[in-house]
Amino acid sequence: MLKAAAAKVYQTGLALMLGAAFALASPVALARKAPEASVSVPGFETIAVADLPREGRATYGRILQGGPFTSDKDGAVFGNRERILPRQARGYYREYTVRTPGARNRGARRIVCGGLQPQTPDACFYTGDHYNSFQQIVE
C-alpha cells in the first residue's frame, strides 16, 4: 500500500513538473527546428533544390526528415578522399544515393552533407558524376 501511494505521489509530481515546463516554454521552442539556410562554401557552383533532378529533390527531403532512405548505404560516412570538399574531421560528411532511372546499381548521383546533426546539415553538395565535381545545394 505504501509503495502504491509513493508511486502515485511520484507520478503526480512528475506530471506537474512536465506540465509546468511545457506551460512555460514558448511555442517556438517546442516546434521542430526547421533546417536553416546552409552555410555558403566559397569556390563551389550552386544548385537550387528546385533545380535538382526529381530524385535528388526526394533524397534531399528524406535527409532533412531523417529517412527513410532507399539504400542501406545512405547516411554512411563520406571519406572525402578526392579532397574536393573542404577538409573536415572524419565523420563530418555523409553520403546519400540519388536514384538514377535505368541504373542497375546505385548509379553515379549522390548528395553529400556535412555537419554534426544529419537532419540539420551545415551544407549539402550534389554530384552527378560520382564525386568528380560538386555543386552546393541552396534553398
Residues annotated catalytic, as ranges = 95, 130
Q: Do residues 121 and 137 make contact, with C-beta atoms less than 8 angstroms apart? A: no
Phi, psi of 85 (to 5 degrees): -75, 160
Cα 20 from Cα 111, distance rounded (Å): 42
Cα 56 from Cα 106, distance rounded (Å): 13
Cα–Cα distance list, 64 to 19, 34, 109 (Å):
30, 9, 18
C-alpha cell at 17: 513538473
Q: Do residues 113 and 94 make contact, with C-beta atoms less than 8 angstroms apart? A: yes
